[in-house]
Amino acid sequence: MSRMLRFAWTVLLLALGALRRNKLRAALTAFGILVGVAAVTIVVALGEGASAAVGGRIDSLGENALIVIPQETLASGVKDDSALPELTEGDAEALAREADDVERAAPMLAGFSQLVWRDQNVATQTIGTTLDFFAIRRWKASAGSLWAPSAETVGDKVCVIGATVRRELFGTEDPIGQVIRIGQHPFRVIGLLEEKGQGPFGNDQDDAVIMPVLTMRAKLSPTRPGVVHRILLQGKTPESAAAAERQVTAILRQRHHLAEGAENDFRLRSQEEFRRTQEKILGVLRMLLLAIAAVSLVVGGIGVMNIMLVSVAERTREIGIRMAIGAREADIRVQFLTEAVMLALVGGAAGTVLAYLAVSALAHALKWEMGVSIDALLVALGTSTCVGVVFGFVPAHRAARMDPIQALGRE
């Protein structure tokens, strides 16, 4: 055992000595591995961070949320946009009442309006809905309050605003109790909503004004009585999501008098569907970036192989002398493999440091929770070792197979 340790130590010292004699060459070779390892590590960290960020944004939609939207039906194989089916407040009430696995249902009207307060003027999304909307979205007022239930039946001209609207319209002023003009109508701000940030599709959830659905229909979004643009639902549990979707589909088909075999005139989208779609997109992007990073790692490995081949050619006489005094082929092979692995490990270690700094900067810039995990560091170092072994084998084998007599005869 001690003999093996002495041999390993000797090989390590020889490898270090060879690298020290060619510092610039070693540094340039290690740089190729550095770039590859850093790229792979950063891509992995970005993938994990993006997945966590997207998951958080999807969760911000609410708890066990489902969305029902109208869907064009096909007439003779062509979409008939003039006959867009309609959802109603009655549909929402029926779903909340009849679907066993639906906890709440909130009808929604959506639009875009100009807001004016004093000399400030901003354009923002307007939403008309019920108090169930806030319960489903887990959205509370950070100042002021939501409207009273009675406001939904009398059409009070009151609204609550998101944090972005508050910043752009009021600046540092207290918005509670202020009267703003939305379109051509005065509204009193009664509440400021907690900040939610970006939604799953990059939209600013805080850039919105929300009011009772009856008020919005009367003042900002004239539609037929009871008609809404979408219905936001909350399933009772995550496990019952599939059952809730089946129940919603059956109830709406019955209410819309759809014949058996007819296409649905609505579409149901769940948080899980959003999650699957986003993960699929992220997965493709992650694989593409990993492929690019892997190419840079292979290029770095080829650099190691080329430099080691040059080193073998320059040290032919040294190899011949070592063989002449008793070194075996295996000893020569191990020595050059060790040099290749050390080059790769130095590059890999520097690459992980660079990746850590880059990921920290990206996390701060993107405001994502991400970092370089211990597993990622171990994988990076393991990958470096593998690159050193794989791309160092050919030079090491060529050195080990030299004829000592011919090697000694070379200048």
Give the span between the Cα atoms of 90 and 280, in whole angstroms: 36
Residue type, 281: I
Q: For the chain, percent helix, then strand, then coil, each to nearest 5?
A: 60, 20, 25
Q: Report pLDDT for 333.
A: 86
Tokens of 363: 């996390």
Looking at 194-315, which runs of residues are DSSP E strands?
A: 208-212, 227-228, 230-235, 266-270
SS3 138: coil
pLDDT number for residue 16 = 60
β partners of residue 35: none
> How many CB atoms lie under 10 A from the CB of residue 25?
14
Give phi and psi for 358, each to the nearest 5: -65, -40
Encode the chain (411 residues) as per-residue pLDDT tens digits.
455 555 455 555 555 655 566 677 777 778 888 888 888 888 888 888 877 777 777 777 777 888 999 986 554 444 454 456 789 999 999 999 999 999 999 999 999 999 999 999 999 999 999 999 999 999 999 999 999 999 988 889 999 999 999 999 999 899 999 999 998 999 999 999 999 887 766 788 999 999 999 999 998 887 778 899 999 999 888 888 889 999 999 999 999 998 888 899 999 988 777 778 878 888 888 888 878 878 888 888 888 888 888 878 877 887 788 788 888 888 888 878 887 888 888 888 888 889 889 888 888 887 777 777 777 778 778 888 888 888 888 888 888 888 777 767 665
204 neighbors 99 (Cβ within 8 angstroms): no
Residue 159's alpha-carbon distances to 96, 119, 239, in angstroms, are: 24, 20, 35
Q: Is 73 helix (H, G, I), strand (E, B) or coil?
A: coil
d(C-alpha 209, C-alpha 175), whole Å:
12
Q: How do the domains of the chain map onto residue ranges?
A: 2-57+277-409, 72-264
Q: CB under 8 Å to 147, separation ≥6 — which residues? A: 131, 156, 158, 160, 190, 191, 211, 212
CB 162 within 8 A of CB 208: yes
CA pair distance 336, 232, nearest whole angstrom: 66
* Residue among 201, 242, 218, 251 at smallest CA distance from 152: 218
What's the gap between Cα 223 and its chain centre?
Answer: 38
Q: What is the per-residue pLDDT for 76?
A: 45
Q: Is 405 left (phi over 0), alpha (psi -120 to 50) or beta?
A: alpha
The pLDDT value given to residue 389: 87
Nearest CA among 301, 409, 309, 388 for reference residue 345: 388
Q: Which of 85, 13, 114, 134 is nearest to 264 (CA)?
A: 85
- 29, 304 Cβ separation under 8 angstroms: yes
362 vs 368: CA distance, rounded Å:
8
Dihedral of the alpha carbons of 283, 288, 292, 298, in degrees to the nearest 10: 70
Amino acid in position 275 = R
Which two three-digit tokens encode residue 252?
Answer: 């709406």
